[in-house]
Structure 1
């Protein structure tokens, strides 16, 4: 049985003082859950997350990582640094990184390798833009991206990797794939993972949906057999909506 994961990607929102208040309230109001919760703030807020969430049933992690272990790479943050801060997860390959920073599948794979070296679970994002979906090529496009982003990546087990399917056209737009659309893609991703890592790995690895997840659509998405949670953007910024998602996840 795969444990549902609800991961909140704050993107470039909040400052450390705001994060401290928000996380303390989350900890205070967190309902009893069987699902897993993670918060992914910007780098400057990770020390705050470590302090406020110490001993809590809430994981935290980063939104990106360097492909380099260490060295003269101004502005970069290494996986070792994230590990020292207690991060359990880090996003790699988010569509905004691919689009605005021109990150390639090869670079994403290197980032995933660095995380695994430090015992951090990559949340690897894949997904198609609108023009690809309209051409009827969403599945081959996304699977090619998946395979390229996992080239040479050898997670020690299914718990060491999370995949997030994020249809690019649905991120921050208010549009979202239907549960059936999401399920079809998640099923295709799971089959591709079986070809890469074996049936048992694919059966146990978690695949999240990440495209305008909100309290109105989350229950229907989670009802799909291959949807194992959500990588949540806008709905993770307000405590009320994030708690609503957690109650739905149970």
Structure 2
């Protein structure tokens, strides 16, 4: 492990989407709250539907788990029926927000422009964006020596300052892997993460680029997470289906804590 990777705290984020009911949410948190490590060891977050977030903040008050919103609007207030204000998310105690997920782009017509608006809105309100990147990295294969900028990353970060980028996490989720049961190989994930980090180096500096966390998402399970998290430019995982189960979530956290250990006991994370 390089000095740069060692300096980046691993991050495991559960993305529940619109799964679970209120009782399920509370049961899950009761199961995991006191079993996750300190944020300085492994950072953990759970993204859930808006209607659960305030209760989740209260339920995790004494836990290291961060509450993550799944979406946010680009205005703090106004006539935007059905949207969620970044100012309101900050007010209830949410820490992070997912922005630009493939499903938001596919089903709700989000664009690079609206993703950027949401990123800047989150940052100005003290929220930490987790920006999804689902761009096809194979399009850059013929240019690997030149390492061109990844378009979605550059667009999402337009206007984001050097100080602000330190509060941003990027997540590479290849479209074909989301919900398919087939994750990218560790090598594929690493190559994509490397291109993203090289883009950050161009936009900011090599030093800043080494400080930003890059996650992998897309059919992550305890069976494939270890090899993925051993990669130099990957600092954690964004997990859908597997993270609906509290024991699998804890196992993923344990793997992130030390992916070089072959077997884990979640009671000892």
Shorter-normalised TM range = over 0.9
Kindly state the Cα deviation for residue 141 of structure 1 after the two structures are TM-superposed: 9.8
Q: Deviations over 1:104-155 (max 9, x none)?
A: 00100000001101111100001135xx848968988981111112222235
The answer for unaligned runs of 5 or more in structure 2 is 1-6, 258-269
How many aligned residue pairs are there? 248
Which residue does 1:100 correspond to in 2?
107
Contact 1:65 1:78 in 2 (8 A): yes
Which residue does 1:225 correspond to in 2?
232
1:10 has 2:16 as partner: yes
**2:166 match: secondary structure:** helix
- Which residue of 18, 31, 37 corresponds with 1:25? 31
1:118 has 2:125 as partner: yes
Kindly state the Cα deviation for residue 32 of structure 1 after the two structures are TM-superposed: 6.4
Q: Deviations over 1:149-195 (max 9, x none)?
A: 22222352443000000001000101111111111111110010111
- Which residue of 184, 194, 207 corresponds with 1:200? 207
Which residue does 1:47 correspond to in 2?
54
Please give the TM-score of this superposition, normalised by the length of structure 1: 0.93
**1:29 match: secondary structure:** coil
Contact 2:123 2:164 in 1 (8 A): no
1:151 has 2:158 as partner: yes
**2:123 match: secondary structure:** helix
The 3 A distance-change label for structure 1 pair 28 and 107 is: same
Alignment of 1:175-190 (within 5 A): 175-190=182-197
Which residue does 1:76 correspond to in 2?
83
Kindly state the Cα deviation for residue 91 of structure 1 after the two structures are TM-superposed: 0.4
Contact 1:39 1:61 in 2 (8 A): yes
1:161 has 2:168 as partner: yes
Q: Distance in 2 between the 1:83 and 1:248 partners? A: 30
Q: Deviations over 1:1-47 (max 9, x none)?
A: 10000000100101222211111111143356711111111101101
- Displaced runs of 4+ in structure 1, greater than 6 A? 137-142
Which residue does 1:216 correspond to in 2?
223
The answer for unaligned runs of 5 or more in structure 1 is none
